[in-house]
Amino acid sequence: MHRMALSGLALGAAAWLATALPAHADQAECEAAVRALMAPYGDNAPDKTINRFGTSVTRIGEQEMKGYSLQTADGSLYYDQDKNPVSLSFTNGDVYTTQDKGETWTLVNSTSAEVMEEVRAGIESQAEKATNITCAYGTDLDGRTVDHYSVDYAIYNTGKAAHSEYWIDADTRFVWRDVTEFEGDPAIVITVDAEPAPDMALPDPKS
């Protein structure tokens, strides 16, 4: 249950990465900005959320799985490699799956508000304890001028080491790419390359 809850909130957090950040900052400001990216709640919640749609590549050791994802402030929709909808996760902890390409959805997990609050507190603690935070401004990503952020941390409910990096548009603050590596044998690396998707929205699983 906690793992599902972590997934729901983390996916919502990924959509909120387009938080406004200073163009230039000292180390203290850099660290504060990155911690806000990791836990965009309360005072750290952005004023505006930019929907993201793009490829999601998961590498587990030598194996690689490609799919697609739509990330919004409310949650995430995942697609298989043929762009068929597969799973739908909301930041409130509800997770749905579909067997008919999104025609109908089945609720497979519903997490209580109390547990979701525990998860949120855990993610905030995870961000507060993060280390090795770096910020590089005005770097290049495929011809775009971006700011690059890097951070190490431990997953709050397992203690497993993780490393995340973000490539954020220097002007719009949109997150073009994010990479997360989870310690393990084998290690798991998830890479998302996205584009703005203002006209896309999550489906209503109850309709």
Overall CATH class of domain 2-196: mainly beta
Task: Look at residue 178 in the predicted model and tell me its pLDDT.
Answer: 97
96: left (phi over 0), alpha (psi -120 to 50) or beta: beta
Rounded CA gap, 152 and 157, in Å?
16
pLDDT of residue 25: 52
The whole-number pLDDT of residue 171 equals 87
Edge-to-edge order in the sheet of strand 188-196: 106-109, 95-97, 85-90, 75-79, 63-71, 52-60, 188-196, 175-182, 161-169, 144-154, 131-141
* Domain layout of the chain by residue ranges: 2-196
Give me the count of residues in the chain: 207
Residue 168's pLDDT is 94
Per-residue confidence (pLDDT) for residue 13, from 0 to 100: 52
Angle between helix axes 113-128 and 2-15 (nearest 10 degrees) is 60
Say how many CA atoms lie within 13 Å of 14 toward its Cβ.
30
Walk along the chain (207 residues) and give the pLDDT tens digit of each residue. Answer: 444 444 445 444 544 444 444 445 589 999 999 999 999 888 888 878 889 999 999 999 999 999 999 999 999 999 999 999 999 999 999 999 999 999 999 999 999 999 999 999 999 999 999 999 999 999 999 999 999 999 999 999 999 999 999 999 988 889 999 999 999 999 999 999 999 999 999 999 998
- Cβ atoms of residues 88 and 202 within 8 Å: yes
Q: What is the pLDDT of residue 47?
A: 79
The reported pLDDT for the residue numbered 34 is 95
Q: Identify the pLDDT of residue 22.
A: 45
Q: What is the pLDDT of residue 46?
A: 81
